[in-house]
Amino acid sequence: MQYPAPIEKLIDSYMKLPGIGSKTATRLAFYTIDMDKSDVKAFSDSLIDASTKLHYCSICGNITEQDPCEICSDPTRDQKSILVVEQPKDVMSFDRTNEYHGLYHVLHGVLSPIEGRGPEDLNIESLIKRLQNNTAVHEVIVATNATPEGEATAQYLARLIKPAQIKVTRLAHGLAVGSDIEYADEMTLLKAVEGRTEI
């Protein structure tokens, strides 16, 4: 027995979201049907607003309602450093710490030959132009994930940027706070040793 067409369509829509399989999509679809009509309308409006009112900052590539974004427009930000991240959500994560006060640049992914994603598919060209046009920048901090693709992207960026006499650094990797050494894998332990600091 098939579900009525509107439910099938809703299930298919939910399945387009990452990590949502048919069972979860079906559960979400039936939950949506049981929602109060005003909540469904608010949910629908928020989806439309997110897809129509948001765009990428022309300077850093972060998601924003205004262009340039709030961070790029803020004259109190430290203009000497740019922290390069994979996705806009990473900007939010770093900014919530209230420890980093510099600028950001969003790549919108990492190099991945397997997925056919090369340098031209990332927001790299605008980073290079930005560095050429802004002599105040002294350091680029590469904050890609500690994956093979993230590491390859970091190395690629370092090769591009270093000839401009700009310091390129990488986030330290290693043991998470509160974790036990006995449960850490070898790569994590290696990165922890390499990234050690004086106390």
| Domain locations in the chain as residue ranges | 5-53, 77-177
Distance of alpha carbon 161 from alpha carbon 84, whole angstroms: 12
pLDDT digits (tens, 9 = 90+) for 3-60: 999 999 999 999 999 999 999 999 999 999 999 999 999 999 999 999 999 999 999 9
Distance of alpha carbon 19 from alpha carbon 191, whole angstroms: 29
Instruction: Give the CATH class of 5-53.
Output: mainly alpha
pLDDT digits (tens, 9 = 90+) for 184-197: 778 777 777 777 66
Fold (CATH) for 77-177: Dna Topoisomerase Vi A Subunit; Chain: A, domain 2 (3.40.1360)
pTM for the predicted model, two decimal places: 0.82
Measure Cα distances from 98 to 92, 94, 175 in Å.
10, 8, 22
